[in-house]
Amino acid sequence: MQFTLSVLRGFRAKYFMLSTHFAGRRLKFITPVDFIQSALRNLEHVLVDCDYYRLSWVTPSKGNIVLDAGAFLGFYTVSSSILTGRDGIVCSIEPNKLLIPLLRSNISLNNALNTRIIPVALCPDRGYHRLFIGEYPAVSSLIPDHVDFHSRITGYMDVKCIRLSDLLKYIGFVDILKLDVEGVEDVVLREAVEELYRVQCVVVEVHTDIVDPINVEEVLSKAGFGDIVLYTSSEMPSQVLMYAKRGKNKNRVERTSSVPNASIPEIVVF
């Protein structure tokens, strides 16, 4: 990897393209050279290990409505767009104004026509809040201590915030909510608890340096989710993935067989 970085910088390249296969499609993502290593780890997390798709009932299917909160470069957004098809809808939420042009380019590059970008942050209240930007922009948060824990703060921007409850009322019904909001997942869900009946399945990335997974589980249970599964990885010791579905599911640990793992990503300089 260090050799690859040296070559890219030697070419004075600002961006590179990651290419991988997922669900029978070749996907391509434009990514800044400045955080190539972290972007590769994130792609592996989403599209190689398929961490958000580990259970069949949180894997999007044709016609589903998916809400991707914390889209970053669009790895989950684009892959879910493929799985939901032309009759589905993917709402892609990303508050970082520096990432939105890349997110839009990656959606267009992969012809994800059923995707809509919502350039806001999910918060427990409306208005504007300060978003602290990490050296690796995927770790940007409304909570500065969370950024410092994983990286270091390189800047900040004021971003528009909306409540999850308002967004759910606007959309009406969501088949799958993927929530990766960097340390505010518990307060975002708690604010929306009375509207979570509009959501069928949830995948929450719980950042344990800030949030206790028990608090998230309590909110989901209160909201009527009867089947809750937790997954931890030795490669992500400060994160817990929590999957929740309404009602009882007898196959609690069933792994999905409908979504193949991606191939090892290729790097293309341009």
Domains and CATH numbers, the chain: 2-247 (3.40.50.150)
pLDDT number for residue 223: 96
In this predicted model, what pLDDT tens digit does every residue of 226-235 receive, in sequence order?
A: 899 999 876 7
In this predicted model, what pLDDT tens digit does every residue of 184-212 receive, in sequence order?
A: 999 999 999 999 999 999 999 999 999 99
In this predicted model, what pLDDT tens digit does every residue of 34-64 receive, in sequence order?
A: 888 788 889 999 999 999 999 999 999 999 9
pLDDT number for residue 263: 52
Q: What is the mean pLDDT of the chain?
A: 88
Question: How many alpha carbons lie under 13 Å from residue 260 in its C-beta half-sphere?
Answer: 10
Alpha-carbon distances, residue 174 vs 30, 33, 60, 110, 261 (angstroms): 28, 35, 11, 23, 25
pLDDT number for residue 136: 87
For the chain, what is the largest distance between any 2 Cα atoms, rounded to a whole number of angstroms? 56
pTM of the model: 0.89
Bridging pattern class, strands 65-69 and 174-179? parallel
Q: DSSP characters for 20-79?
A: EEETTEEEEEEEEGGGHHHHHHHHIIIIIS-GGGSBGGGS--TT-EEEEES-TTSHHHHH
